[in-house]
């Protein structure tokens, strides 16, 4: 049986190039199903990935990404 790789190190950044094109963009649930790990690790990896996206974003994208981060933080 195929098992998705654990998001060790910064391998979860491989999700970022296409994450903005997902419906909805930067979807947590897509991220969680892409990588293998426990809930605490998945949450930490997603948070780190989104911080990187926010740092690299420009203009209106930055606002949309900040909203996603705020939604995620409100739930966790």
- CA 15, CA 5: separation in Å to the nearest integer? 12
Residue 11 maps to a domain:
no
The 10s digit of each residue's pLDDT in 24-63 is 999 999 999 998 888 999 999 999 999 999 999 988 889 9
User: Coil, strand or helix: which one is 7?
Assistant: coil
Residue 6 maps to a domain:
no
Residue 5 maps to a domain:
no
Residue 66 maps to a domain:
yes
Please tell me the predicted confidence (pLDDT) of residue 2. Answer: 40
Please tell me the predicted confidence (pLDDT) of residue 68. Answer: 94
Q: How many domains are there within the chain?
A: 1
What is the domain extent for residue 52?
Answer: 21-75
Residue 61 maps to a domain:
yes
Nearest to 46 by CA among 37, 59, 24: 37
Query: What's the pTM?
Result: 0.81
Confidence of residue 6 (pLDDT cuts 50, 70, 90): low
């Amino acid at each position: 049986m195929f098992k998705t790789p654990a998001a060790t190190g910064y391998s979860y950044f491989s999700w970022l190039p296409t994450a903005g094109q997902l419906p909805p963009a930067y979807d947590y649930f897509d991220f969680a199903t892409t990588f293998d790990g426990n809930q605490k690790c998945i949450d930490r990896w997603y948070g780190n990935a989104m911080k990187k996206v926010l740092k690299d974003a420009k203009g209106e994208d930055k606002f949309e990404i900040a909203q996603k981060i705020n939604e995620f933080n409100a739930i966790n």
